[in-house]
Chains A and B, each alone.
Chain A
Amino acid sequence: AQSVSQHNHHVILSEAASLELGCNYSYGGTVNLFWYVQYPGQHLQLLLKYFSGDPLVKGIKGFEAEFIKSKFSFNLRKPSVQWSDTAEYFCAVNFKAAGNKLTFGGGTRVLVKP
């Protein structure tokens, strides 16, 4: 079965530090890739997505992600985090051969200390 892995379950860092969250997926042919964020007490919101073209994707709130096809990875980055980035981050993959479904990683809880 297709799967998505997020390596870090919890990340704690200070404001202004750089953030990188890993996401790897199992081989499954053509994919669409997403990062969602869930702020405390809120529903999931889309941060960014990749369908095709430039593998470096820029999203909202200063986030970006790079698709490396050879490594089956789609890592999320932000150069300088703020306290308001405290949230849970989910990587999700649409394995196109499986239709419109998304497969989610287990999530990474990020705590930014002021």
Chain B
Amino acid sequence: DAEITQSPRHKITETGRQVTLACHQTWNHNNMFWYRQDLGHGLRLIHYSYGVQDTNKGEVSDGYSVSRSNTEDLPLTLESAASSQTSVYFCASSELSGGSDTQYFGPGTRLTVL
């Protein structure tokens, strides 16, 4: 069955370190998204991609970067981790354009920055 996976599931790091969270989907979807989930804020969009070599900034993109070198993967990099980036991170993917399709979510990565 097609799926979307994230790794690691849990990560503890120190302030200032670079961290990369992996997202891999086997749906062959063009669209991929990264969100962070914080209490009271719901999910906020960090970055998104509509296809290979395409990346776009979301609502809370400062301190994060992504790259899309193939259809299946959209890694999220924290260039210099900050305590404010302690959160749960979800990756999602969808197929069709115009938002007329369901986004499928991965299991999440819980990141703690000390």
Q: Are A and B subunits of one complex?
A: yes
Query: Could you tell me the distance between the alpha carbons of A104 and B90 in the complex, rounded to whole angstroms?
Result: 13
Interchain CB contact under 8 A, B50 and A100: yes
A51-B99 Cα distance, complex, nearest whole Å: 9
In whole angstroms, what is the CA distance A67 to B46 when docked? 28
By a CB distance below 8 angstroms, the chain A residues around B42 are 4, 6, 90, 104-107
Chain B positions within 8 Å of A42 at CB level: 107
Choose among A6, A51, A102 the residue that contacts B103 (Cβ–Cβ < 8 A).
Answer: A102
**B101 to chain A: which residues have CB within 8 Å?**
100
Q: Is the CB of A102 within 8 A of B45?
A: yes
Q: How far is the CB of A11 from chain B (nearest CB, A)?
A: 15
Distance (whole angstroms) from the CB of A111 to the closest CB of chain B: 15
Beta-carbon contacts under 8 Å, B95-110 to A: 97-103, 105-108
Complex partner residue of A101 from B41, B58, B108, CB under 8 angstroms: B58
Q: Contact size class for A?
A: 20 to 34
For residue A40, CB closer than 8 A to chain B, the reply is no
Partner of A96, one of B44, B94, B99, B105: B99
Given A9-B40, A101-B48, A105-B42, A44 and B90 contact (CB-CB distance below 8 Å): yes
Residues of A within 8 A of B35 (CB): 104
B98→A100 contact, CB < 8 A = yes
Distance of A47 Cα from B9 Cα, bound (Å): 24
Known: A94-B99, A99-B50, A102-B33. 16 other contacts (CB 8 A): A4-B42, A32-B99, A34-B102, A42-B107, A44-B43, A44-B92, A45-B105, A94-B100, A96-B98, A99-B98, A100-B94, A102-B45, A102-B103, A103-B45, A104-B35, A107-B42
Interface residues of B, Cβ cutoff 8 Å to A: 31, 33, 35, 40-45, 48, 50, 58, 90, 92, 94, 97-103, 105-108
**A residues near B, CB below 8 A?**
4, 6, 9, 32, 34, 36, 42-46, 49, 51, 90, 92, 94, 96, 99-107
